[in-house]
Structure 1
Amino acid sequence: MAEPDLTDLAQPGAEIAVRVTPKASRNRIEREGDALRVYVTTVPENGKANAAVQKLLAKALGLPKSRLDLIRGATSRDKVFRIG
């Protein structure tokens, strides 16, 4: 399954809320209406899962990952990223 095209969300200053599932069988993003579910294979320790989510999200948005900032939910499954 191809990653969804999220370029319509790639507006500077936009905030994107995601629900993360770590230790998934494969990396993928699912769009459920306005909600995004991100599945990553990495374990949630030392920020590894956050980095994997950031990289996957940036790719789907068509942005460099340096433009995505995690503003809420560093230790939670529910995270909010802001596009810089």
Structure 2
Amino acid sequence: MSPFARQESAGVVLQLWVQPRASKNELVEVRDGALKVRLTSPPVEGAANDLCREYIAKLLGVPRGDVQLVAGERSRHKRLLISGCAVDEVRKRIETMIK
């Protein structure tokens, strides 16, 4: 099983390491058990968290409401819960997008 994604009863939990204020939104790599994500938004007033949820939802083709921040509101290390997906599906989509 991939270290950055695991199946739970409520859905799939993604371990992320977020780099705000990047030049573009992109998935970079899996490092230390987390998916590194670069986001253009600054880490001010939850803007990076909102963009993180929107970006992951768009990449996975799920509604934004199905992506919840469950840990790391004020940290670069975040955990997102994706409802209505299987871990194999999430892992496959993300691994094809990593540069």
State if a TM-score over 0.5 links the two structures. Answer: yes
Match of 1:13 among 11, 28, 41: 11
The 5 A counterparts of 1:60-71 are: 60-71=59-70
Q: Which runs of 5+ in 1 are unaligned?
A: 1-8
How many residues are treated as equivalent by the alignment?
75
Deviation of the 1:29 alpha carbon? 1.2
TM-score by length of 1: 0.79
For 2:82 and 2:41, how far apart are their aligned partners in 1?
Answer: 23
SS of the residue corresponding to residue 51 of structure 1 reads helix
Runs of 4+ in 1 over 3 A off after TM superposition: none
TM-score by length of 2: 0.68
Percent identity between matched residues is 35
Counterpart in the other structure of 1:5: none
Deviation of the 1:30 alpha carbon? 2.1
Select the structure that is richer in helix: 2
Deviation of the 1:35 alpha carbon? 3.0
The two structures, once aligned, show a CA RMSD in angstroms of: 1.7
